[in-house]
Amino acid sequence: SSNTFAEIENYVKVKDKGATPAMFGVAKGKNVILISMESTQSFVINRKINGEEITPFLNSFIKESYYFDQFYHQTGQGKTSDAEFTIENSLYPLDRGSVFFTHFNNEYTATPEILKDYGYFSAVFHSNDKTFWNRDLMYPSLGYDRYYHQQDFVGTQQNSVGWGLKDKDFFTQSISYLKELPQPFYTKFITLTNHFPFTIDPKDRLIEEYNSESEIVNRYFPTVRYTDEAIKYFIQRLKEEGLYDNTIIVIYGDHYGISENHNAAMAQFLDKNEITPVDSMQLQRVPLIIHIPKQSGQTISKVSGQIDVKPTLLHLLGISTTHSTEFGTDLFIKEKDPLVVMRDGSFITNDYVYTKNICYAKQTGEPIEEQLCEPYKQKAKFELRNSDKLIYGDLLRFDPSNKRNTGTMTTILE
Ligand code: GP9
Ligand code: MN
């Protein structure tokens, strides 16, 4: 009901909704490009196998960007769609299923919808079937103007793998649409090649496979390397089209690609005896890279998550989020005690990791007194519960800042 909405609104209002003055509006009026990197985890960044870098392009791009090296995915069963949901709404995904399927008809105040008021045109590019993850029905609810999907691309046996175009062909074909869009634009590009089970054409393999007992882990590195090359090419094309200098580029990993079934191979890669519960949590880090034209790079090690992207991006574009109903915090704010909550109720703070009902010291990986985690545990539960209530009750209908508000007076009074 609207009462529940008011309670939740009061809760999110007391959260730190501020922005860093030095960063607020630095990218005002710029185009936005989001790149969702399929299954890309942070452990590939600045690492080599067989003497070769896994992500040479990203490693260099990070040096001229803001790079968040303690950034976690917060996805559940909705995988890529959950990442999209959390990144653009600053709400948690649901504990089961995908919000894209179960609540596509809700009222949302997603980033593309907000940016419409600032003259932005918004579009998504993804070469899979438009109905996958119910995207064709969900995107209009998020405020997207256009969805370029499988039917907008030319797929052949040569240029495709798995569910769609190879990333490089995907970017090549997307660029011709992109350069015709009205500006400023807000766009999202969802890559696909680095998807389980990580198969690529041998001629697209730029590095050798890894050598472990897991075929999946072995193949993962060449497909990550392939996507890295495709993004390099895309950035180059943006420069050639004169779009690079007036565009803010946000690159994020959507969720893990290597599950706990491959712990032995991961232990080998990380040079550890075993993968502990704390290691497993740390493996949930995904890259977040924000490139702002004419700003130099910096690595920021704040504990953060996908839920924080929306307010951060809006602030960079000079848009205040003081009245937004969202759970994230601007990534550029120095928080005393940051907390990242995962969809299953586990969490990470500066000092603690809580997972599978056990509290651990982050430094040592040793179990510690449950009590130390208790206050965070309560907060984590509260966050998830309130976010769920918003979605299950379609409560953003009652948000007065929601322009497309369809809640009528009668609904509000009941
Ligand atoms: C499907 C692509 C991958 O279109 O986004 O989805 P995933 O299986 O990673 O959720
Ligand atoms: Mn995915």
pLDDT of residue 411: 32
Cβ(101) – ligand 1 distance below 6 Å = no
Instruction: Fill in the amino acid letter for 8.
Output: I
At a CB cut-off of 8 Å and minimum separation 6, what does 281 contact? 342, 346, 348, 353, 355
DSSP 281-308: HHTTB--EEEE-TT---EEE---EEGGG
CA of 19 to the centre of ligand 2 (A): 30
At a CB cut-off of 8 Å and minimum separation 6, what does 128 contact? 149, 150, 163, 164, 192
Nearest-CA residue for ligand 1 atom 4 is: 128
Nearest-CA residue for ligand 1 atom 5 is: 80
Residue 196 burial (C-beta neighbours within 10 Å; 0-12, 13-18, 19+): middle
Cβ(42) – ligand 1 distance below 6 Å = no
In angstroms, the CA 105 to CA 240 distance is 39
- Dihedral of CA atoms 172, 176, 177, 182 in degrees, nearest 10, equals 130
Secondary structure of 314-335 in HEC code, one letter for each residue: HHHCCCCCCCCCCCCCCCCCCC
CA of 80 to the centre of ligand 1 (A): 5
Indicate the DSSP class of residue 367: B
**Helix (H) or strand (E) run with residue 101 in it:** helix 99-102
Residue 129 burial (C-beta neighbours within 10 Å; 0-12, 13-18, 19+): middle
Residues classed as catalytic: 80
Cβ(190) – ligand 1 distance below 6 Å = yes
**Helix (H) or strand (E) run with residue 53 in it:** strand 52-53
Nearest-CA residue for ligand 1 atom 9 is: 80
CA atoms in the 13 A half-sphere facing the CB of 229: 17
Question: Which structure tokens are listed for 72?
Answer: 């976690």
User: Which atom of ligand 1 has the smallest separation from the CA of 79?
Assistant: 10
Nearest-CA residue for ligand 1 atom 7 is: 80
CA of 162 to the centre of ligand 2 (A): 13
| Alpha-helix runs per DSSP H in 190-245 | 215-240
pLDDT of residue 404: 56
For ligand 1, pick from 34, 37, 38 the residue to mutate: most ligand atoms within 8 Å of CB. Answer: 38
Cβ(193) – ligand 1 distance below 6 Å = no
DSSP 55-79: -HHHHHHHHTSEEETTEE----TTH
Indicate the DSSP class of residue 209: P
In angstroms, the CA 35 to CA 110 distance is 17
Per-residue pLDDT of the chain (414 residues; tens, 9 = 90+): 788 999 888 888 767 678 999 999 999 999 999 999 999 999 999 999 999 999 999 999 999 999 999 999 999 999 999 999 999 999 999 999 999 999 999 999 999 999 999 999 999 999 999 999 999 999 999 999 999 999 999 999 999 999 999 999 999 999 999 999 999 999 999 999 999 999 999 999 999 999 999 999 999 999 999 999 999 999 999 999 999 999 999 999 999 999 999 999 999 999 999 999 999 999 999 999 999 999 999 999 999 999 999 999 999 999 999 888 999 999 999 999 999 999 999 999 999 999 999 999 999 999 999 999 999 999 999 999 999 999 999 999 998 877 654 433 333 332
- Closest-approaching ligand to the CA atom of 162: 1
In angstroms, the CA 67 to CA 87 distance is 16
pLDDT of residue 2: 83
The DSSP bridge partners found for residue 249 are 33, 291
CA of 193 to the centre of ligand 1 (A): 10
- The ipTM (two decimal places) reads 0.99
Cβ(262) – ligand 1 distance below 6 Å = no
CB environment 225-250: b (16+ within 10 A), e (fewer): bbbbbbbbbbbebbeeeebbeebbbb
